[in-house]
Amino acid sequence: MSLRRLLLPALLLVALAGTLSACGSQSIDVPGASASVRNGAKLFSERCSGCHTMSAVGAQGSATKVSDREKVDGPNFNARKVCYENALYALRNGGYSGAIMPANIVVGKQAQDVSRFIAEYSGNGAPTSASPGGGMKCTPPPGG
């Protein structure tokens, strides 16, 4: 009887944790995107969403208030437009300062896919006067 008393609360806690972990989750929303961009969105959601915000994948990793900001919070890609070359550079080199973001969090074709996704979907909440890529020269990604 005592084993049953211990098991029931444990099972209830596991079920409750599973239910709560699904709350607030948002699916990836990249309609009409190429296979490469869809793969980039999936990878961004898996590997980048803890530190960066982008509504297309339900990522909310950036601080919403300056007073809540932490050293590890990455840029909010709803508000910042980033071009392919700059995203690829950041992925390869651990951001621009190299201090916080892990270098090579994705590599090769995966890094290209994530960069394509960022280039296509970043900046959707940015003012229209915002220059792409933070004022740096941007060209379309190779191969679409």
Structural domain boundaries enclosing 119: 24-135
Confirm whether 54 is domain-assigned: yes
Please tell me the total count of domains within the chain.
Answer: 1
pLDDT of residue 21: 39
On whether residue 141 sits in a domain, the answer given is no
User: Which value, to the nearest 10 degrees, does the dihedral of the CA atoms of residues 27, 31, 34, 35 take?
Assistant: 30
The tens digit of pLDDT for each residue in 100-137 reads 888 888 999 999 999 999 999 998 865 554 444 444 55
Q: What is the CATH number of the domain that holds 85?
A: 1.10.760.10
15 found inside a domain: no
Confidence band, pLDDT 50/70/90 cuts, at residue 18: very low
Integer distance in angstroms from the first to the last C-alpha of the chain? 64
Average pLDDT, the chain: 75
87 — pLDDT class (breaks 50, 70, 90): very high
Domain presence at residue 140: no
Residue 47 lies inside a defined structural domain of this protein: yes
CA-nearest of 84, 66, 85 to 76 is 66
User: What ranges make up the beta strands (E) of the chain?
Assistant: 53-54, 59-60
Using the predicted structure, report yes or no on whether residue 22 has a pLDDT greater than 50: no
Nearest to 64 by CA among 55, 56, 76: 76
Find the helix packing angle between 84-93 and 108-121, rounded to 10°.
Answer: 140
Q: Please count the helices (runs of H) and the strands (runs of E) in the chain.
A: 4, 2
Residue 4 lies in a domain: no
Does any domain span residue 79? Answer: yes
| 99 within domain boundaries | yes
